[in-house]
Structure 1
Amino acid sequence: MNRKLLSIGLMSTLTLLSSVNLYGYEIKGKIASSLSGVDGKYVYILPIGAKGLNEVIDSAKISNNSFILSGADKGEMMCRLFIQDMAPGKTYSPSFLLEKGNLVATLDTFSYVNGTPENDAFSALMKKVEDTQTKLSAIPKDADTDKKYEEIIKELNGEAYKYILANPTKLTAAKLFTDLRYDLTEAEQEEILAVADAKFMSFPGVSSIKEHLEVLKNVAPGKKFIDFEMADSEGKLHKISEYIGKGKVVLLDFWASWCGPCMREVPSIKKIYDKYKDKGFEIVGISFDNKKENWMKARTDKNMNWIHLSDIKGWKSLAAPMYGVNSIPCTLLIDKDGTILQRNIFGDELEGKLAELLK
């Protein structure tokens, strides 16, 4: 071959290799012009799950609201971009998969990173989430719109669930899984974990979800309640076995005065309690408050005239890990002999079940 043609061919090949960045990552970023005063500051890459800024992977100086980050291939990891003096996780701080290839970051009131198939799919789903949340925020939330509101959220969560289940080997799916842990049913979580690979399982927070599901098996319907001791408002200690397994159907109710959904459930619970308290029904409320005065005030203001216990430790309450409670309100309906019948039962469903049990 002619040496000149060989040289030209070699240069073309090297140019092509450079353009696709086979040996590392490159992120070309643009920051919205509406965000002023960022020139001269730095953009950072921080792994999700990092314990401090000392774990920053890379940084680049911003010029004309633009930046370029590049480096050697570090393998796949979920990261965030964030701007100096702006907290990670807020606006202008997208999460993305740092991987080998050429990426494009757009930092705006909705921020995203594109350029590889996985980042493209992830950012498209995040855009749908953002658009839906913006739409919902404009809807006046009242009794007439609550149902429609919940239906839209359920549909959106369903799409995210499908993405996770279809991608059990991808870190973006693992990130969504940890984000949606409180919106997925236990059955859905089990289904996802059953097909997840080691990379998925290594994402921060996934192992704790698995551990939580193991705890729930100990307090699942059909199991006997687990006893514990806690103080009443006078400081006197009581075991919950004083009230459970003594011939009454008991609702073990985990709540707190600071929990809006808990407080919204009170009128319904009170109505049901007043109807069935003389027919063999009792409620044992376990508060996750961390201030006794708030706990007492809520009970008085709402006339919650059933049994109440608390160790005033908030989420550090000894009952939380014992019963796998990581969100409230949370209830367990327990039969007369101390057998757990159902978890997270409220409103009409609770009343219907009591009507069946306390004929």
Structure 2
Amino acid sequence: MKFKNIVITISLLIASCLYSFGQRKTFTVTSKIADLKDSTYNMTIWNGFSDVVFKKGSTKNGQIYYQDTTSVPLIIRLTLPTESLYKRVDRGYIPVKSQSIWFVAMPGGKILLKGKLSDFAEVYPSGDKENDVISKLNKGYHPLLNKSANIELKLAKDTVEEALKKRLEAEQEQIDSEAEKYLKDFLKKNISSIAGLYYLEDMLIREIVTIDTVEALLPTVAKAYQSSPFYTILKNRVAGSKYDVGKSIFQINTRNTYDGQVFDSNSWKGKFYLIDFWGSWCGPCMADVPDLKKLRDSYPDQLRVLGIASDKNDSWRKAIEQHNLNWAHILNDKGSNNYVLRLNVTGFPTKILVDPNGTIVYRSTGGGETSFEKISEIIKNWK
């Protein structure tokens, strides 16, 4: 009995450290990065509850000093403008996680970023258990990502001979396989951590792991972490994955619409409706608009369209008006209005076709004419 009480007390203490019972506390980020020049930097911040937050900061005397407040753990990606970190290709660059510094900000935490900048950010955090985990992960993972990105950079050049190209592709495939195995093995042992939960969802979205793997790992997560929003995201994605072809969809009822009026999917009973997950920032989504309009106009009595956007409110409204997207629209949000999670959408655009009986009859991710051809065939052959 005494042992049981000790275990309960320890669990409560861990939960207290993780979430501070909702109290906002200041966290501080400092650095010891060799030869860092004064400049601005960008931070991308995930809290697991809402959309990503972007912030800027400035280095002073060659180091980073940043303070903010939080009531929950945050995953933060800090990106410096140091040119050597960018894999430049023509006018763009190859995005890679190893280009940035990653850390966890806990309420009241003190994070030290230490290391150097080479052709990737060899800078890792310390200060608490959560940062020890993400540091250990990225010390093994990021060098592999960087090697793969360097090969991608070579392959992007038109001057690569065919024989060399094949050798580089084989080498890259080997490195990618090693990186994937490292990440999977690491997360199996460290799933009970903020970084573990965040990276597991990231792997799911990038199709490195399957929903079955996530479903198998979730019961192994320590109880103290099961109240984390990063855990809840994964749990919701597992639930959302059940809404596949052949399954009945839930009622969509919300006032989070373009005109502020209540939308209720039950009002469309007896008709097909196509859910189009999109964003104004998504090139393939916007490229699909003419074909989507053509499909909708081909079946004026049988088909309705519902756009669900993952976007900023202003950008969403501007795109609807500018491109005359004259169908029902919902802006994805938190909780019951987070349809991206509730339907386990892992890429944009995603299209889900619901038949007149409320059953999902088609689902696809990615743009292009093929999706519209298949949807048209289903509607045309409906009996």
TM-score range, shorter chain: 0.5 to 0.7
**Paired residues of 1:95 and 1:112 also in contact (CA < 8 A):** no
2:54 aligns with: none
2:337 to 318, 323, 340: 318
SS state at 1:165 partner: helix
**Paired residues of 2:145 and 2:176 also in contact (CA < 8 A):** no
What does 1:16-35 correspond to in 2, within 5 Å?
31-33=33-35, 35=36
**Paired residues of 2:33 and 2:116 also in contact (CA < 8 A):** yes
Distance 1:124 1:209, change over 3 A: same
Normalising to structure 1: TM-score of the pair?
0.54
1:128 aligns with: 147
SS state at 2:205 partner: coil
Could you tell me how far apart the structure 1 residues matched to 2:317 and 2:123 are? 49
- Percent same amino acid at aligned positions? 23
2:128 aligns with: none
Q: Residue deviations 1:21-57, cap 9 Å, x none?
A: xxxxxxxx98443x2469xxxxxxxxx98xxxxxxxx
Q: Which runs of 5+ in 2 are unaligned?
A: 1-30, 40-45, 48-59, 69-75, 81-99, 105-113, 125-134, 159-171
Distance 1:253 1:343, change over 3 A: same
Structure number with bigger Rg: 1
Letter in 1 for 2:322: D
Matched, 1:242 2:230: no
Could you tell me how far apart the structure 1 residues matched to 2:290 and 2:174 are? 28
Letter in 2 for 1:239: D
**Paired residues of 2:214 and 2:238 also in contact (CA < 8 A):** no
Could you tell me how far apart the structure 2 residues matched to 1:339 and 1:188 are? 24
1:283 aligns with: 305
SS state at 1:226 partner: coil
2:116 to 103, 106, 121: 106
Could you tell me how far apart the structure 2 residues matched to 1:317 and 1:117 are? 36
Distance 1:31 1:349, change over 3 A: same
**Paired residues of 1:285 and 1:308 also in contact (CA < 8 A):** yes
1:228 aligns with: 252
What does 1:171-320 correspond to in 2, within 5 Å?
176-184=199-207, 188-194=210-216, 198=221, 207-217=231-241, 219-230=243-254, 235-243=260-268, 245-246=269-270, 248-274=271-297, 276-278=298-300, 280-287=302-309, 291=313, 295=316, 297-305=318-326, 307-310=327-330, 314=333, 318=337, 320=339
**Paired residues of 1:182 and 1:327 also in contact (CA < 8 A):** yes
**Paired residues of 1:332 and 1:343 also in contact (CA < 8 A):** yes
Offset, 1:220? 3.1
Letter in 2 for 1:265: D
Matched, 1:338 2:342: no
**Paired residues of 1:216 and 1:324 also in contact (CA < 8 A):** yes
2:64 to 46, 64, 83: 83
Could you tell me how far apart the structure 2 residues matched to 1:314 and 1:119 are? 31
Could you tell me how far apart the structure 1 residues matched to 2:178 and 2:295 are? 36
Normalising to structure 2: TM-score of the pair?
0.51
**Paired residues of 1:262 and 1:328 also in contact (CA < 8 A):** yes
Aligned residues: 266
Offset, 1:213? 2.4
Letter in 2 for 1:220: D
2:6 aligns with: none
**Paired residues of 2:236 and 2:344 also in contact (CA < 8 A):** yes
